């Protein structure tokens, strides 16, 4: 029941995002309205592939969709003792940039909703093999800084904090999750 509710909430959020993107007028072509990005820091550090897309509504705000393959719970490591994450996540976000047309680089804030699916498996000497269903909805907030070069390349650090709503996950992990990264993006 809980997983069905989470999937329904995620589906409705996704439909609202798609509707909002298509309902917006096409922005003037003096700047690029799309950005594809990769969190290169987490790809190198923990092997998580985080691919993102942003559709700019104007130069100060965007709607985003992010796909996280080989996702991890925060920075919990697989230490070789029989622990394994098998997770995929999708996040929907709204970003507000504190920038101007004269200087597109600057700080931003981003509230987001993330849906995670998959399992965490661990071997415990006392209880044997334990598999935790990691499906759940997370709601969070982030902030960062982007340097934009010639309205083509964007890069910068960011931090996120989110709260998960899966009781089984909260029993094994802390319900508040921290994430940080350094994204490299291309605007088109």
Q: What pLDDT is attached to residue 108?
A: 98
Radius of gyration of the chain from Cα atoms? 18
Half-sphere exposure of 31 (CA within 13 A, CB side): 18
pLDDT value, residue 9: 55
pLDDT, tens only, 151-179: 899 999 999 999 999 888 888 888 899 99
Average pLDDT over residues 69-83: 69
Q: Hunting for tokens 């509710």 — which residue is that?
A: 5
Query: Among the CATH numbers 2.40.160.20, 2.40.50.140, 3.40.50.300, 1.10.760.10, which is that of 2-25+32-187?
Result: 2.40.160.20
Read off the pLDDT of residues 88-126 as tens digits, 9 standing for 90 and up. 999 999 999 999 888 889 999 999 999 999 998 888 777
Ordered by start, the domain boundaries in the chain are: 2-25+32-187
Write down how long the chain is: 188
Q: Residue with structure tokens 């959020």?
A: 13
- Give kind and range of the element (H or E) at residue 51: strand 49-58
Stronger pLDDT, 100 or 80, i.e. the higher one: 100
Task: Return the minimum-mean-pLDDT range out of 31-45, 74-88, 150-164.
Answer: 74-88
Note the pLDDT of residue 174.
87
CA dihedral (141, 133, 75, 62) positive or negative: negative
């Amino acid at each position: 029941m809980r997983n069905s509710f989470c999937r329904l909430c995620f589906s409705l959020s996704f439909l609202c995002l798609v509707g909002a993107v298509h309902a917006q007028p096409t922005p003037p072509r003096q700047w690029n309205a799309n950005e594809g990005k990769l969190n290169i820091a987490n790809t190198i550090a923990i092997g998580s592939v985080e691919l993102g897309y942003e559709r700019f509504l104007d130069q100060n705000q965007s709607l985003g969709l992010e796909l996280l393959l080989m996702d991890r719970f925060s920075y919990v490591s697989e230490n070789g003792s029989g622990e394994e994450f098998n997770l995929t996540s999708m996040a929907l976000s709204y970003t507000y940039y504190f920038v101007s047309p004269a200087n597109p680089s600057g700080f931003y804030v981003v509230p987001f909703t993330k849906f995670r699916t998959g399992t965490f498996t661990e071997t415990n000497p006392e209880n044997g093999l334990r598999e935790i269903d990691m499906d759940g909805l997370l709601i969070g907030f982030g902030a960062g800084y982007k340097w934009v070069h010639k309205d083509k390349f964007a890069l910068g650090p960011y931090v996120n904090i989110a709260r998960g709503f899966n009781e089984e996950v909260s029993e094994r992990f802390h319900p508040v999750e921290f994430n940080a990264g350094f994204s490299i993006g291309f605007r088109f």
